[in-house]
Amino acid sequence: MKSLDSLNPVQKEAVLNTDGPVMILAGAGSGKTKTLVTRITYLLDAKNVSPHQLLALTFSNKAAKEMRERISHEVAMDIGSLQITTFHAFCAKLLRSEANYLGLSRNFTIYDEGESKAIAKSLLERRGISTKEINPYEILAYIDGLKNNGYYPGRDMPGGDGPETTDMFFGYFEEYESELHRANALDFGGLITAVIQLFEKFPEVASRYQNRYVYVLVDEYQDTNRAQFELIKILCEKRRNICVVGDEDQSIYSWRGADIRNILDFEKVFPDVKVLKLEQNYRSSKTIIEAASCVIEKNTLRKGKHMWTENPEGDAIDVVECFNDKDEAEFIAQETARLYKAGTPYKEMAVFYRSNAQARQIEDALRKYKIQYRVIGGVKFYERKEIKDMLSYLRLVINSKDSLALSRIINVPARGVGATSLRKLEVEAMNNNTSLWDIIEKIVDHSADYTHIKLSAKIKSSLSEFVTLINELRHLDQNKIKPSTIYEKVLHESGYYAFLKANKDYETLARLENLDELLNAITQFEESAEVPTLSGFLETITLDSSSDFDEAAKLIDGEISLMTVHGAKGLEFTHAFVVGAEENVFPSYRSVDGGEIAMEEERRLFYVAMTRAMIKLYITFAQGRMLFGQVKFNGPSRFIDEIPEKLFTWKKLKGHQEDRYDHSFTPGYQKNFDPYDQSQESHYDNEEVVYQIKETASAPLKSFHQPKFPKGASVVHSLYGAGKVEDSEGSGADEKVQIKFADGARKKFMVKFAPIVLA
DNA sequence: CACCGTTAAGTTTTT
DNA sequence: CTTAACGGTG
């Protein structure tokens, strides 16, 4: 077991207070995970609690994975039955074994946001309302709101604050729910509310779980919504050994339903709670901690902690005033290069921005200086079209009622079943109160009974072929044939592979590569899962976006990390750049006139960003920034003003003509800042001019990956023969080239896929 | 259908 | 400016 000696007194208390309700408020970098891991190993080793009786719930798969790994290192016993899992995966598993109570079947499908949106759209369509009159997201937001609060149809809400049946969208909610039920599907929110419903309607079921889980632990508690809180409450009713760990100052997902009141009001629900505050920070310099504390202390919606550290004083924070967004990006590139030369590896540096759009300028500048970087977040692997198509086939195999999956792939590749035919089938299914699959199967088997649906012989025969294929696949799945085998059969026998192969552009190459990666993922799953079923794989895919198979989260040597502040939570870097620290950018314009509650969340975001830095923090802003096609002068972020002046140095970038812009300011955005007002120039006494932008800054400081096939190189393609590189773009995995072949043909390739070699 | 031009809007995204 | 989504046309 991890020794208690390595813990500080509060951490030790957090481990030893095993019985009764405990709330641990763990500041940034306070050794939270270490404490949690020790607590669990202590329960297992010293208190002889069986792993079976323990439940640890986290929010992200990443957190669950990390905790599980660390625990398995610490304890000798087999922790196979120890449940460290996400809320959603926990609920999904529970529901699969208790599905019959709620009239679900255990092979239910989990719908993601895209699929929920598709349902909302079809509900609108059904009523003849265009998506311009009502945005489907409005409906989804309403539905999501209800579910986040723990509402399920017919529930008698505690506190009586359920929805009104007269609500504008209540009808949509009911219809949406019955659509899901018809498809034997649940959405993310529904996973949680279904368990609440199960527990409330069947106390004997609840009781089984209440008895089993003697100790329950919840990580990232600040991110739980009310539904999750109620779930925990029921689960812990009997044993009352509930330990929640969180930091109200890092609650940055309220817009996703996280309810900060779960922390603030915990004591009202559990009056005998022991509250412990982990306030010693082991990550950052004194300067950074003090600055971040001063900012966050402006918030009122908090319990209050005071972070401190024994770490060295450290450097002052650099607040860097740039002329415009381009200069800001240029500064990042030059400064990171300078740090690198001075001995800081690139993987220790990170750039945090408020919104994804800001990444582009910075990427451009880094590319210009040939600095390798990695953008964390972005397009999800499983959201790509070809992946969704293939997954839809597999989902249909598992759950025949999944009409959404069916309608997605019924005509991919083209089978002559276009929108009109599909529409007819859907109407018929609706009239017969059955699923799309069911009706198609009936038409194929008993064609004579369905002459009223006008379908051509060609369509009928391709439907028949389709039904045969899916049924064969189902048969394979029932006979426990490996998912990867089933996948390969779908890919080829559906005609999807041939259909893709038909075009030869380089986008297709990427798609084929993605399909290979999907196979890879399935194979990997087969190796790691105890019982590698197809349905298990599909669940993992839906509930674990981090299974972006390129391991996006892994920090690679020689690469700077670029990410949103949201994406930065939980990470740390020796050198961090918080960029775009301007009013209307950070804080976001949405929050600037969105009231105090919204502003407090922005402040928490800023706090999260600051506390990622260990040694040196840079905060940059631009006088003028290109936004929505025009230059806006927003002025520095109010959060900069909240940092005591003694903790930062105000540095102004020089090297530009002051009159590049005319003096037309953006009305309404000016605030108190005027970049041309001399009287405001020395608002900060310690202002100094330090960084000098070099206009001819094109000399690369270090070229990591030169293009493999530079312009002018002679190459040989295994298919097209000899040619010359006409154009080359990017390097490493992103390198793209345009080649002119001997026969005069020009083609573009992604180097990582194309079979080309230097001649 | 697939393509193209128009239009409107423009945060954050653990599951 | 940029992008996504819609609706009209070939």
pLDDT tens digits, A671-730 = 333 333 333 332 233 334 343 333 222 222 222 234 567 667 777 766 666 777 776 655
Round to a whole number and report the distance in Å from the CA of A142 to the C1' of B10: 22
pLDDT score of A383 more than 60: yes
What are the structure tokens assigned to A754, written together? Answer: 């194309």
Q: Which residue has the tokens 């100052």?
A: A249
The pLDDT, as a whole number, for residue A655 is 61
Return all residues near A208 (Cβ < 8 A) that are at least 6 apart: none
pLDDT score of A665 more than 60: no
> Of A177, A187, A220, A602, which one is the catalytic site residue?
A220
Range A133-158 burial, b when 16+ CB lie within 10 A, else e: ebebeebbebbbbbbbbbbbeebeee
- Helices A595-610 & A286-296, crossing angle to 10 degrees? 170
Round to a whole number and report the distance in Å from the CA of A665 to the C1' of B11: 24
What torsion do the CA atoms of A39, A41, A45, A47 make, to the nearest 10 degrees?
Answer: 30
Measured in residues, chain A has a length of 759
Residue A167's φ and ψ, nearest 5 degrees, are: -55, 145
What torsion do the CA atoms of A539, A477, A412, A403 make, to the nearest 10 degrees?
Answer: -60
The pLDDT, as a whole number, for residue A99 is 92
Cross-strand pairs, A85:
A57
Nearest of A745, A751, A635 to residue A683 by alpha carbon:
A635
Round to a whole number and report the distance in Å from the CA of A125 to the C1' of C6: 14
Higher pLDDT, A77 or A665: A77
Q: Nearest residue to B1, CA vs C1'?
A: A418
Round to a whole number and report the distance in Å from the CA of A356 to the C1' of B8: 20
Protein contacts of strand C with Cβ less than 7 Å away: A 130-132, 626, 628-629
Nearest of A127, A227, A109 to residue A169 by alpha carbon:
A127
Give nearest nucleotide to A570 (CA–C1').
B14
Confidence class for position A29, pLDDT limits 50, 70, 90: very high
Confidence class for position A732, pLDDT limits 50, 70, 90: very low
CB A407, CB A125: distance < 8 Å: no
- Beta-sheet pairing, A349-353 with A630-632: unpaired
A346 touches strand B (CB under 7 A): no
- Beta-sheet pairing, A54-58 with A215-218: parallel
Round to a whole number and report the distance in Å from the CA of A544 to the C1' of B15: 7
CB A578, CB A637: distance < 8 Å: no
Round to a whole number and report the distance in Å from the CA of A645 to the C1' of B7: 47
- Rounded to whole angstroms, the Cα distance separating A277 from A293 reads 15
Active-site annotation holds for A47: no
Nearest of A137, A146, A141, A86 to residue A110 by alpha carbon:
A86
What are the structure tokens assigned to A490, written together? Answer: 């779908």
Nearest of A485, A488, A468 to residue A477 by alpha carbon:
A485
Q: Nearest residue to B15, CA vs C1'?
A: A543
- Rounded to whole angstroms, the Cα distance separating A625 from A635 reads 10
Summarize pLDDT for A519-538 with one digit per residue, the tens.
988 998 999 888 899 999 99
CB A315, CB A615: distance < 8 Å: yes
pLDDT score of A40 more than 90: yes
pLDDT score of A472 more than 50: yes
Round to a whole number and report the distance in Å from the CA of A125 to the C1' of B6: 23
Residue A64's φ and ψ, nearest 5 degrees, are: -60, -45
The pLDDT, as a whole number, for residue A721 is 64
A256 touches strand B (CB under 7 A): yes
- Rounded to whole angstroms, the Cα distance separating A64 from A55 reads 11
A89 touches strand B (CB under 7 A): yes
R_g of chain A, CA atoms, integer Å? 29
Active-site annotation holds for A223: no
- Rounded to whole angstroms, the Cα distance separating A5 from A18 reads 17
Q: How far is CA A220 from the centre of its chain?
A: 15
Q: Which amino acid is at A227?
A: A
Q: Nearest residue to B12, CA vs C1'?
A: A566
Give nearest nucleotide to A136 (CA–C1').
C5
What are the structure tokens assigned to A216, written together? Answer: 């329950």
Give nearest nucleotide to A135 (CA–C1').
C5
- Helices A32-45 & A61-74, crossing angle to 10 degrees? 50
> Of A250, A287, A309, A620, which one is the catalytic site residue?
A250
DSSP 3-state of A209: helix
A566 touches strand B (CB under 7 A): yes
Round to a whole number and report the distance in Å from the CA of A502 to the C1' of C9: 26
Active-site annotation holds for A219: yes
Active-site annotation holds for A250: yes
A354 touches strand B (CB under 7 A): yes
Give nearest nucleotide to A630 (CA–C1').
C1
- Rounded to whole angstroms, the Cα distance separating A610 from A584 reads 18
A93 touches strand B (CB under 7 A): no
A567 touches strand B (CB under 7 A): yes
Looking from the CA of A119 toward its CB, the CA atoms found within 13 Å total 27
Summarize pLDDT for A271-294 with one digit per residue, the tens.
999 999 999 999 999 999 999 999
Judged by average pLDDT, the poorest of A91-105, A412-426, A578-592, A659-673 is A659-673
Bond before A136 cis per omega within 30 degrees: no
A417 touches strand B (CB under 7 A): yes
Nearest of A183, A182, A209, A185 to residue A196 by alpha carbon:
A209
Nucleotides on chain B that have an atom closer than 7 A to a protein CB are 1-2, 10-15
A140 touches strand B (CB under 7 A): no
Q: Which amino acid is at A146?
A: L
Round to a whole number and report the distance in Å from the CA of A133 to the C1' of C1: 27
Highest mean pLDDT among A205-214, A338-347, A696-705: A205-214
The pLDDT, as a whole number, for residue A16 is 96
The pLDDT, as a whole number, for residue A414 is 83
Beta carbons within 10 angstroms of residue A692's beta carbon = 9
Q: Which amino acid is at A371?
A: I
**Mean pLDDT score across all residues of chain A:** 85
Round to a whole number and report the distance in Å from the CA of A695 to the C1' of C8: 49
Give nearest nucleotide to A628 (CA–C1').
C1
pLDDT score of A506 more than 70: no
Q: Nearest residue to B9, CA vs C1'?
A: A628
Higher pLDDT, A377 or A60: A60
A630 touches strand B (CB under 7 A): no
Active-site annotation holds for A670: no
Q: Please list the alpha-helical segments (H only) found in A410-482.
A: 419-431, 436-445, 457-478
CB A279, CB A307: distance < 8 Å: yes
- Beta-sheet pairing, A22-26 with A242-246: parallel
Active-site annotation holds for A488: no
> Of A18, A19, A33, A45, which one is the catalytic site residue?
A33
Residue A579's alpha-carbon distances to A224, A327, A353, A358, A592, in angstroms, are 29, 12, 5, 9, 18
> Of A144, A219, A544, A600, which one is the catalytic site residue?
A219
What torsion do the CA atoms of A497, A503, A509, A510 make, to the nearest 10 degrees?
Answer: -90
Q: Nearest residue to C1, CA vs C1'?
A: A629
Return all residues near A170 (Cβ < 8 A) that are at least 6 apart: A163, A164
Nucleotides on chain C that have an atom closer than 7 A to a protein CB are 1-2, 5-7
- Rounded to whole angstroms, the Cα distance separating A450 from A432 reads 12
- Rounded to whole angstroms, the Cα distance separating A418 from A397 reads 21
E-strand ranges in A180-273 read: 185-187, 215-218, 242-246
- Rounded to whole angstroms, the Cα distance separating A689 from A653 reads 6
Q: Which residue has the tokens 């230097």?
A: A758
A113 touches strand B (CB under 7 A): yes
Nearest of A548, A194, A189, A180 to residue A399 by alpha carbon:
A180
Cβ burial, residue A478 (10 Å; 0-12/13-18/19+): exposed
pLDDT score of A759 more than 70: no
Element (H, E) at A717: strand A714-717
Cβ burial, residue A317 (10 Å; 0-12/13-18/19+): buried
DSSP 3-state of A167: coil
Round to a whole number and report the distance in Å from the CA of A82 to the C1' of B4: 56
Q: Which residue has the tokens 């809320």?
A: A87
A598 touches strand B (CB under 7 A): yes
What are the structure tokens assigned to A472, written together? Answer: 């064969």
Round to a whole number and report the distance in Å from the CA of A474 to the C1' of B2: 34
Tell me what percent of the residues of chain A surpass a pLDDT of 70. 85
Percent helix / strand / coil, chain A, rounded to 5:
45, 15, 35
